[in-house]
Structure 1
Amino acid sequence: MPVATPARSALIALGAVGAAGVAAATWGIGIERYLFTLRHATARSLPAGSRPIRILHVSDAHMAPWQHRKQRWLASLAELRPDLVVNTGDNLGHENGLEGIRAAFAPFAGVPGVFVHGSNDVHAPSPRNPFRYFMGPSARVATAPKLDTAAMDRFFTDELGWTDLNNAAATLTVAGERIDLFGVDDAHRDWDELDDLPPAIDALGARPAGVPVLGVTHAPYQRVLNAFTDLGADAILGGHTHGGQVCIPGFGAIVANCDIPLKQAKGLSTWTHAGRSVPLNVSAGCGHSIYAPIRFACRPEATLLTLLPRA
């Protein structure tokens, strides 16, 4: 019986690690990134006496025109008949991405909805080393080509009837009830103008008691979450993090691409600031950059979030 030498044992261990890496990459690239998942969540955050609100939260599609499976899955979510759609940005992932976004969201025409921008709604993705994602928040690429953001916005506002919440506030009628909402442009690119929100909210007029208030952001930076909490949001919705995109099973995200705590980089949690606690839903999103086509231990998702009145 041959005796394993240290060198032989090291080679065996190295081979096992390599095989595991290949298997993980095969799963993440070839299988998991197509396992689109609807996550259900419930939070008691509305003023007493409010009617429940069923929110379909979609984010980070990073759509390319050839991604037909993703387009069909998003379109199928219209069958849920949500009361409100909240789109937290990074819809586009290619210069012709609007073609796929039209196919994905056309069935939602007439359903109340709101949206904010991520930087990928403005600039096309560019080739880069995918491992840099794990070295800290992504940097601005000065040479990235501009996208036709205005055309996307016209599709959302004119054809679907959704409301633009980029550094703005609005009042909607949802399921027969008034809801006030406010949002900011992409905080990851410092496009958020938090000082614009108080006058925008004041311009909505007096808010009757019991009217729900929602805050919407693409990138859930702490400065944004704190400001939204101070402004009276009953719930906050964000995206951007991809839930970590490549996670460690049993541990979760190892990066968030912003300063939110890693344990809150995906899913429903509670954000507390200045003695006030608010439900926070961060979507892991349903896409990825075309230059980093992988998800591991972090399925692409959308969320059906049901907000209920407080007990």
Structure 2
Amino acid sequence: MRRSPRPAAAALGLTAAGVLLWSTVIERRLFTVRRHTLPLLADGAAPIRVLQLSDLHLAPWQARKVDWVRSLAELRPDLVVLTGDLMGHLQARPMLLRALAPLAESTPTVFVHGSNDYYGPLFKNPFKYLMAPSRLSTREPDIDTEALTEGLQRLGAIDLNNSAVDLELRGTRIELLGLNDPHIRYDDASAMRAALTALGAERGTDAPAQPPLRLGVVHAPYQEALGELLDDGAQLILAGHTHGGQVRVPGVGALTANCDLPTAQARGLSVWYDAHRAAFLNVSAGLGNSIYAPVRFACRPEASLITLEAAR
């Protein structure tokens, strides 16, 4: 006797429906904090807690996400790094600034922009991301990026797009190097290096005896941009953009990084290196998604809390 295919088909249908429900309704709202510890500080230095937020893709109605981001001030970070794609809707700026206020107003904060801080979201064929990165747009920017930048600066955040800044945190001097988004080719390493040179000129003969720790910041972790930061001595590079793959296959991982970064490094902590030097690389899976692709599977939305401490 031949078995009816109906029970198997029904089970397959129920499984597909469950995966769809989980990935579109449940998992993308399960915000979490991913924690790492790195031995990058000098002997005897006090630990430094770095909170990285990326890819909020915030829309005005996402009050739950806003409340969760505001609650991160309870972690009491020493530095907040915003790695771009904070905007997810043309009208999101007021809600975004409200979300970031408890952090930026009380904690040293730096930011770089991502492409979605220049361009509002559009529907795109998701399968195109599996073929090649969706790079330079041919349309005019429709996000008021200048107003976004000014709003972040009013909160106290420092614009690190193609720039550099030095800070002293808990007795440790840190130099932060930032690039604007390579995904839309707004990165300018020459401008960043000019800013770094200006920092050295300002210090003059007052250079600290202990070399500063250098952190690189960029939205999209394209290999060329990572190489530029590595060339300038970055010991830790923070990036976003990939959404961790957004949909990950258990046992396989991300299917795409939406850039030329190897998919094995599309989420979390790894090492980026060349023949002469190496740096830790943290790629945040981010806290959001496009409003036209409301899905996450095996890839919870996240913030990163990285504790820098003395080597043991």
For this structure pair, what is the TM-score category when the shorter chain's length is used for normalisation?
over 0.9
Unaligned runs of 5+ in 2: none
Q: Pick one of 66, 72, 88 that aligns with 2:61.
A: 66
User: Partner of 1:119 in structure 2?
Assistant: 115
**Per the alignment, do residues 15 and 195 of structure 1 end up closer, same or farther by CA in structure 2, a change over 3 Å counting?**
farther
Sort the Cα spacing of 1:248 and 1:191 in 2 relative to 1 into closer, same or farther, 3 A: same
Matched position secondary structure for 1:31: helix
Q: Report the 3-state secondary structure (helix = DSSP H, G, I; strand = E; otherwise coil) of the residue aligned with 2:38.
A: strand
Residues 72-121 of structure 1: CA distance to partner in whole angstroms, max 9, x if unpaired? 00000011110000000000000111122022111111310100000100
**Cα displacement (A) at 1:49:** 4.5
**Equivalent-residue separation in structure 1 for 2:141 and 2:291 (angstroms):** 15
Match of 1:3 in 2: 2
Report how many residues are paired.
305
Q: Does 1:172 align with 2:171?
A: no
Alpha-carbon distance between aligned partners in 2 of 1:148 and 1:175, rounded to the nearest angstrom: 36
Structure 2 residue corresponding to 1:131, chosen from 127, 151, 155? 127
Look up the equivalent residue of 2:131 and give its one-letter code: M
Does 2:158 align with 1:163?
A: yes
**Aligned pair 1:32/2:33, yes or no?**
no
Shift of 1:136: 2.4
What is the TM-score with the length of structure 1 in the denominator? 0.93
When the two chains are superposed, the root-mean-square deviation of aligned CA atoms in Å is: 1.7
CA distance in 2, matches of 1:250, 1:144: 40
1:94 maps to 2:95 = no
- Give the Cα separation in 2 of the matches to 1:238 and 1:197: 16
Of residues 198, 203, 207, the one that matches 1:203 is 198
- Percent identity between the two aligned chains: 50
Report the secondary structure of 2:55's partner residue: coil
Rounded to whole Å, the distance in 2 between the matches of 1:304 and 1:122 is: 27
CA contact (8 A) 1:45 1:279 kept: no
Distance verdict in 2 for CA 1:288–1:154, change over 3 Å: same
Q: Is the 8 A contact 2:51 2:304 kept in 1?
A: yes
1:259 corresponds in structure 2 to 260
Structure 1 runs not aligned, ≥5 long: none
1:142 Cα shift?
A: 2.9
Alignment partner of 1:216 is 2:217: yes
Deviation of 1:176 after TM superposition, in Å, equals 4.4
Q: CA deviation at 1:48?
A: 4.1
> Take 2:141 and 2:11, find their aligned partners in 1: how far apart are those partners?
42
Equivalent of residue 148 in structure 1, options 134, 139, 144: 144
Instruction: Report the CA distance between 1:217 and its aligned residue.
Output: 0.3
Can you list the C-alpha shifts for 1:41-64, whole angstroms capped at 9, x where unaligned?
111123444432100000000000
In the aligned structure 2, how far is the partner of 1:293 from the partner of 1:264?
Answer: 23
Structure 1 stretch 97-106 or stretch 76-85: which is displaced more? 97-106
How far has the Cα of 1:140 moved from its partner?
Answer: 4.0
Partner of 1:192: 187
My pick for the range that moved more, 98-107 or 16-25, is 16-25
Q: 1:13 Cα shift? A: 4.8
Contact 2:136 2:185 in 1 (8 A): no
Answer whether contact 1:47 1:210 (CA < 8 A) is retained. no
More off after superposition, 30-39 vs 12-21: 12-21
| 1:162 Cα deviation from its structure 2 partner | 1.1
Q: Counterpart amino acid of 1:81?
A: R
Deviations 1:181-240 (A, max 9, x none): 111000111111112222221110155323211100000111111221121112110000
Structure 1 CA distance for aligned equivalents of residues 179 and 309 of structure 2: 25
- SS in structure 2 of the partner of residue 237 of structure 1: strand
What CA distance in whole angstroms lies between the structure 1 residues aligned with 2:266 and 2:123? Answer: 25
Residues 89, 118 of structure 1: 8 Å contact kept: yes
C-alpha contact 1:124 1:144 (8 A) present in aligned 2: no
Aligned equivalents of 2:254, 2:232: Cα separation in 1: 29
